[in-house]
Amino acid sequence: GAGVSQSPSNKVTEKGKDVELRCDPISGHTALYWYRQSLGQGLEFLIYFQGNSAPDKSGLPSDRFSAERTGGSVSTLTIQRTQQEDSAVYLCASRFGGSETQYFGPGTRLLVL
Partner 1 sequence: DAKTTQPPSMDCAEGRAANLPCNHSTISGNEYVYWYRQIHSQGPQYIIHGLKNNETNEMASLIITEDRKSSTLILPHATLRDTAVYYCIVRATYYGGSQGNLIFGKGTKLSVKP
**Nearest distance, CB of residue 58 and partner 1, angstroms:** 5
Whichever of 31 and 74 has its CB closer to partner 1, that residue is 31
> In terms of CB distance, is 3 or 16 closer to partner 1?
3
The answer to whether the beta carbons of residues 57 and 47 sit under 8 Å apart is yes
Using CB under 8 A, list all residues that contact partner 1: 4, 31, 33, 35, 42-43, 45, 48, 50, 53, 56, 58-59, 91, 93, 95, 100-107
| Closest among 40, 45, 38 to 93, alpha carbons compared | 45
Quick one: 64 or 96, whose CB is closer to partner 1?
Answer: 96
Q: How many CB atoms lie within 10 A of CB 86?
A: 21
List the beta bridge partners of residue 108: 90
| Polymer length of the chain | 113
